[in-house]
Amino acid sequence: MALIILLLFPLLGAVAAAVGKARPVAAWVAVGTNCAALALGIAVAVREVQSGPMTGAWGVLRADALSAFMVVVIGTIASLASWLGVRMVAAELADGRSTRARETTYLVLVQAFVGNMLLAVLAANVGVLWVAIEATTIATTFLVGHRRTKGSLEASWKYIVICSVGIALAFLGTVLVYLATLHAGGHSAGALDWTSLMAHASHFNPAVMRVAFALLVLGYGTKVGLAPMHSWLPDAHSQAPAPVSALMSGVLLTVAFYAILRFKAVTDLAVGPAYSRALLVAVSLLSLALAASLLLSQRDYKRMLAYHSIEHMGLIALGAAAGIPLAIAAVLLHILGHGLAKSVLFLTSGEIMATEGTSRIDGIHGLLARRPALGGVFGVGLLALLGLPPFSLFTSELLMIRAEFQVGLGWAASAAMVAMVVIFVAVAGHARHMLFGSGTPPTETVSAGADLARVPVVTVARSSPLVTAPLVVGLVACGVIGVFAWPLTELLRAAAHVVAP
């Protein structure tokens, strides 16, 4: 029952947006539903840790520890993104850059997007998971092309073509898994449920499962943004409006990786852990190398953040390759931390683009001097993302590296660390250019409120707390989790045991 209500929240938000026609009230209702979904998700997680997995909707939905954790992640970032989305919608309407109909579509599609992601992580059945992830692709295509520029049109075309091909391959992999389970004696009614798959996995034909897992990594990996299927990612994440980029980069990539994690658990029971380990290590090192080499020459800060996502997805894949519970717990913690930090950064970059009018790195100087709040948030967010303490990404990366050495993948971890150093240098260099410097003449009073009110491009006057509060909240949460993981340890442990029993 709780699970159905969880899915109804985004639906409610979509209905409110459609009825309210993009008025601020409707947008706030959508924010409210996302926060409610987060709250309910936390309650479900607590219930799950205490009494085990819960099912709903006649067995179509199922929440075990891993699903509950992902629900919490989705809820958090959806709340953050829709909070700032309210302001973005109002600003675009006030500027005349958009019509009410387009903004209504935007809000409805964002809610549909969130709802489909929740459905994907709560699905008990592999087929429903596929349908939900394909539906997120369809929902986000129009969101990527929201601004109706040539660049965004090109980005959304590339996005849907490449991701559709990937999802089709993932479907082929799913069909092969179905073949394996039918031959191992599963009944066709419940054969594609996760519980049934995990129960029968040791009887699956290894050759078929190897081909199936390769197809699934190739297919769902396209949506995760792993190299060599990543070419849609920089375009789509940089052209989309900021809240959408935050949602896509923060959560959608990891929801697709959740699918790979679940299938890895099944495959490891069928063929042993070495195969999936080799495949995931290869893909992750390729992604890290690619991200490292391309980040050095970036000229657009939104594309820089997108390539940084590719790096983090590579790290997550490397962690998953190790396969032991410590590694999986680290991966999940990294998913949460990366989600928080990346979404805060994308939302901030959206603000920066709205105020500065350019998305090029060399078009922005002295952000810390002119707009200390925005600049500060951006800088601290980058520190969080680069893996510095006290933020949770430091903890999760440390745990991942420890786990890699434990299973004998030390060489891979070392290669990853080299890539991370290169990326640190690249991103720090770009950030230094953007943040430091003299900026505008010093006659203006340097105070948060005055700076943000005196905005050349966006005409809606807004007060600073509305903008910076959610961003600061996100960063603080990231920091808190890094230092005290206590609210999450039980959940993480249970979730890790789902994947690596």
Site residues for other proteins per CB under 8 A: 125, 127-128, 130-131, 134-135, 137-138, 141-142, 145, 150-151, 153-158, 160-161, 164-165, 168-169, 171-172, 174-176, 178-179, 182-183, 188-189, 191-192, 205, 207-208, 211, 234-235, 238-239, 294, 297-298, 303
Beta bridge partners of 63: 54
Q: Which is nearer to other proteins, 237 or 334 (CB)?
A: 237
How far apart are CB 270 and other proteins at their closest, in Å? Answer: 14
Q: Which is nearer to other proteins, 104 or 239 (CB)?
A: 239
How far apart are CB 85 and other proteins at their closest, in Å? Answer: 21
For residues 33, 35, 40 and 42, what is the CA-based torsion angle, rounded to 10 degrees?
Answer: 160
Cα(240)–Cα(153) distance, integer angstroms: 10
Run of H or E including 60: none
Q: Which is nearer to other proteins, 232 or 378 (CB)?
A: 232
Neighbours of 220 (CB within 10 A): 29
How far apart are CB 247 and other proteins at their closest, in Å? Answer: 18
Tokens at residue 433, please?
A: 């250019």
Reduced to 3 states (helix: H, G, I; strand: E, B; else coil), residue 54 is strand
How far apart are CB 382 and other proteins at their closest, in Å? Answer: 20
Q: Which is nearer to other proteins, 79 or 105 (CB)?
A: 105
Those residues whose C-beta lies under 8 Å from the C-beta of residue 261, and which sit 6 or more positions away, are 66, 320, 328, 331, 499
For residues 459, 464, 470 and 471, what is the CA-based torsion angle, rounded to 10 degrees?
Answer: 90
Q: Which is nearer to other proteins, 349 or 468 (CB)?
A: 349
The one-character DSSP state at 229 is S
Torsion sign across C-alpha atoms 341, 347, 350, 351: negative
Q: Which is nearer to other proteins, 86 or 289 (CB)?
A: 289
Q: Which is nearer to other proteins, 170 or 377 (CB)?
A: 170
Reduced to 3 states (helix: H, G, I; strand: E, B; else coil), residue 189 is coil
Task: Identify the burial level of 39 via C-beta atoms within 10 angstroms of its C-beta, where 0-12 means exposed, 13-18 middle and 19 or more buried.
Answer: middle
How far apart are CB 380 and other proteins at their closest, in Å? Answer: 27
Run of H or E including 463: none
Q: Which is nearer to other proteins, 172 or 417 (CB)?
A: 172
Rg (CA), the chain: 22
How far apart are CB 163 and other proteins at their closest, in Å? Answer: 10
DSSP for 84-107 reads HHHHHHHHHHHHTSS-HHHHHHHH
Q: Which is nearer to other proteins, 131 or 480 (CB)?
A: 131
Q: Compute CA 414 distance to the chain's CA centroid, rounded to the nearest angstrom.
A: 25
How far apart are CB 128 and other proteins at their closest, in Å? Answer: 7
Task: Identify the burial level of 339 via C-beta atoms within 10 angstroms of its C-beta, where 0-12 means exposed, 13-18 middle and 19 or more buried.
Answer: buried
Q: Which is nearer to other proteins, 83 or 220 (CB)?
A: 220
Q: Which is nearer to other proteins, 153 or 199 (CB)?
A: 153
Cα(231)–Cα(226) distance, integer angstroms: 9
Phi and psi dihedrals of 22, rounded to 5?
A: 65, 20
How far apart are CB 419 and other proteins at their closest, in Å? Answer: 18
How far apart are CB 119 and other proteins at their closest, in Å? Answer: 11
For helices 392-407 and 410-435, the axis angle rounded to 10 degrees is 160
Please check whether residue 233 is in contact with residue 225, taking contact to mean a CB–CB distance below 8 angstroms.
yes
Phi and psi dihedrals of 55, rounded to 5?
A: -115, 165
How far apart are CB 461 and other proteins at their closest, in Å? Answer: 33
How far apart are CB 197 and other proteins at their closest, in Å? Answer: 14
Cα(2)–Cα(68) distance, integer angstroms: 12
